């Protein structure tokens, strides 16, 4: 099992946003996040805390138009950082699952660090996608972040909301469930030798 540091530092610059992100998969849940979108900062902080990754993120974007570009681009960079930090994926558990409540909300996430990007996302109540959370962040962005992260990290993620009424609780429960499942999947497993796949590559 490789003892190599599992870290990444990525910058992404477009005409719509400027993102700089540092990730340590073997951290302690420390975070320092400023994207200009306060509720998204809250979600990323929860992801770091519950995945036990150390995360620093700075984003500047055209949020005077909409938060969409900044949030999506940060999700893209987070996914790229995850993939880079995982390296060849030798010795990881590969699979993870978590069921996380937040008051009335209950979310389930299942993660496979498979090398194949695929997202199944279901259960959010009708109208959630239109709700403004914190005055800036629309409910539709929750799925959009998972799409960006999943695709660019080359993971399979099944995210299911089993219940929920409050939009803040719904979004946060989903991010915490994803964090816990990802933590399990990305963790090193002393019983695993090499790449955890019959194909020999992920």
C-alpha angle 22-28-34 in degrees, rounded to nearest 5: 40
pLDDT in tens, 139-194: 999 999 999 999 999 999 999 999 999 999 999 999 999 999 999 999 999 999 89
Report the CATH architecture of 7-186. 2-Layer Sandwich (3.30)
Q: Of 95, 201, 112, which is closest to residue 154 (Cα–Cα)?
A: 112
pLDDT in tens, 36-56: 999 999 999 999 999 999 999
Kindly report the pTM of this predicted structure: 0.96
Return the domain boundaries, the chain.
Answer: 7-186
| Residue 1: pLDDT band with limits 50, 70, 90 | very low
Encoded tokens for 15: 């005409």
**Cα distance between residue 201 and residue 25, in whole Å:** 20
**Cα distance between residue 156 and residue 136, in whole Å:** 28
């Amino acid at each position: 099992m490789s003892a190599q540091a599992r870290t990444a530092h990525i910058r992404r610059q477009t005409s719509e946003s400027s993102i700089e992100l540092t990730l340590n998969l073997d951290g302690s849940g420390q975070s320092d996040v400023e994207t200009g979108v306060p509720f998204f900062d809250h979600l990323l902080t929860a992801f770091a805390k519950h995945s036990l990754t150390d995360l620093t993120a700075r984003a500047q974007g055209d949020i005077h138009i909409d938060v969409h570009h900044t949030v999506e681009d940060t999700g893209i960079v987070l996914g790229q950082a995850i993939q880079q930090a995982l390296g060849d994926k030798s010795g990881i558990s590969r699979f993870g699952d978590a069921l996380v409540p937040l008051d009335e909300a209950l979310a389930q996430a299942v993660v496979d660090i498979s090398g194949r990007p695929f997202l199944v996302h279901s259960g959010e109540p009708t109208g959630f996608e239109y709700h403004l959370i914190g005055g800036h962040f629309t409910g539709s962005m929750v799925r959009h972040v998972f799409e960006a992260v999943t695709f660019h990290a080359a993971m399979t993620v099944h995210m299911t909301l089993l219940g929920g009424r409050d939009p803040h609780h719904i979004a946060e429960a989903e991010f915490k469930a994803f964090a816990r499942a990802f933590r399990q999947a990305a963790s090193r497993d002393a019983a695993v030798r090499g790449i955890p796949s019959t194909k020999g590559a992920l």
